[in-house]
């Protein structure tokens, strides 16, 4: 699933190509794509017609396009969602779910989603975490790149949790935008095993971990994000290439870039965790 850097790459593309444009028509080609827009496809299209799109925004893995008023188009890409900007005469994609055309006759905005796990809806905005965000995501915590991200508050809430540190990092109500890939990479940079108790971390160690998460996601953003297959692309259909720079994720049995020990893979919440057994030793209680 796309994480913060991949979604930010898409957001920047949307800001460049659709900001200030007036919607001529919205067409829903698959009802599942707007399953969370309860009023349905006709009302979705009616809500968008004639509206002007503002500056694209993001919180964690969610992005939205403010409309002229107090609402916005909210999108979550899911496992395979793509927001593409393409010329109107381009052939329709096989898995095209939503097509938005504009009054200026310029490039379309198309939502393509092979697996149809992503979704799009029009929703009111509400105050949350110091800014206006779409109502359905008011429970989502600020991400590490937001101006209003409160590291001290995050540290207090983290230490109050009786859970492992990796599980806490993936909890979007604590900190948003960090997924499985960047959690493993941040933990490696901070020399922490994912099973370390979150409540046992010191303030400086938490600060180091947050810094590591910011650092690795900044580097990923500079390289267009991480693409393991053709499903994650930017608005122009181009894949990112940070996968080449990952230190541990997906590197089972390869040497750790820091110490040379073989990277290990462990099962984690129906997924995989990757770590260095030397740089990131398991806590004694979990090692047993």
DSSP annotation string for 99-160: EEEETT---EEEEEESS---EEEEEEEEEETTEEEEGGGTTSPPPTTSTT--HHHHHHHHHT
Q: According to the model, what pLDDT value does residue 239 have?
A: 67
**Active-site annotation holder among 244, 271, 284, 285:** 271
The terminus-to-terminus CA distance of the chain in angstroms comes to: 32
42 contacts 112 by C-beta, under 8 angstroms: no
**Active-site annotation holder among 3, 6, 8, 164:** 3
Q: According to the model, what pLDDT value does residue 3 have?
A: 86
30 has binding-site annotation: no
Query: For residue range 202-249, what is the model confidence (pLDDT) as tens digits?
Result: 999 999 999 999 999 999 988 877 754 455 566 777 666 578 789 999
Q: According to the model, what pLDDT value does residue 285 have?
A: 67
**Active-site annotation holder among 61, 99, 166, 196:** 61
- CB atoms under 10 Å from CB of 27, counted, come to 16
Q: According to the model, what pLDDT value does residue 135 have?
A: 97
Decide if 215 is catalytic: no
Q: According to the model, what pLDDT value does residue 240 have?
A: 66
Helices and strands, number each (H, E), in the chain: 7, 11
Decide if 3 is catalytic: yes
25 has binding-site annotation: no
16 has binding-site annotation: no
Decide if 2 is catalytic: yes
115 contacts 78 by C-beta, under 8 angstroms: yes
- Using 70 as the pLDDT threshold, list the residues of the chain that sit under it: 227-234, 238-241, 285-288
Q: According to the model, what pLDDT value does residue 228 have?
A: 45
Distance from C-alpha of 124 to C-alpha of 65, rounded to nearest angstrom: 11
**Active-site annotation holder among 2, 107, 134, 144:** 2
CA 229 to chain centre: 16
Report the run of H or E that residue 60 belongs to, with start and end: none
């Amino acid at each position: 699933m796309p994480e913060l850097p991949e979604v930010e790459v898409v957001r920047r593309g949307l800001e460049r190509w659709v900001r200030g444009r007036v919607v001529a028509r919205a067409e829903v080609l698959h009802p599942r794509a707007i399953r969370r827009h309860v009023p349905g496809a006709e009302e979705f299209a009616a809500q968008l017609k004639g509206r002007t799109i503002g500056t694209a925004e993001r919180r964690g893995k969610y992005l939205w396009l403010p409309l002229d008023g107090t609402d916005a188009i909210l999108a979550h890409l899911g496992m395979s969602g793509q927001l593409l900007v393409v010329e109107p005469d381009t052939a329709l994609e096989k898995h095209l779910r939503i097509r938005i055309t504009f009054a200026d006759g310029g490039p379309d905005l198309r939502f393509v989603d092979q697996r149809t796990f992503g979704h799009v809806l029009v929703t009111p905005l509400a105050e949350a975490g110091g800014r206006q965000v779409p109502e359905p995501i008011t429970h989502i915590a600020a991400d590490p790149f937001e101006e209003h991200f409160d590291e001290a508050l995050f540290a207090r809430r983290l230490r109050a949790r009786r859970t492992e540190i990796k599980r806490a990092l993936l909890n979007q109500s604590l900190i948003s935008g960090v997924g499985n890939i960047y959690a493993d990479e941040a933990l490696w940079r901070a020399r922490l095993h994912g099973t370390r108790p979150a409540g046992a971390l010191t303030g400086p160690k938490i600060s180091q971990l947050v810094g590591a998460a910011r650092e690795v996601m900044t580097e990923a953003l500079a390289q267009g994000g991480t693409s393991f297959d053709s499903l994650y692309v930017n608005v122009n259909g181009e894949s990112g290439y940070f996968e080449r720079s990952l230190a541990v994720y997906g590197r089972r049995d390869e040497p750790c870039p820091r110490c040379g020990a073989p990277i290990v893979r462990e099962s984690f919440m129906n997924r995989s965790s990757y770590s260095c057994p030397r740089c990131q030793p398991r806590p004694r209680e979990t090692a047993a």
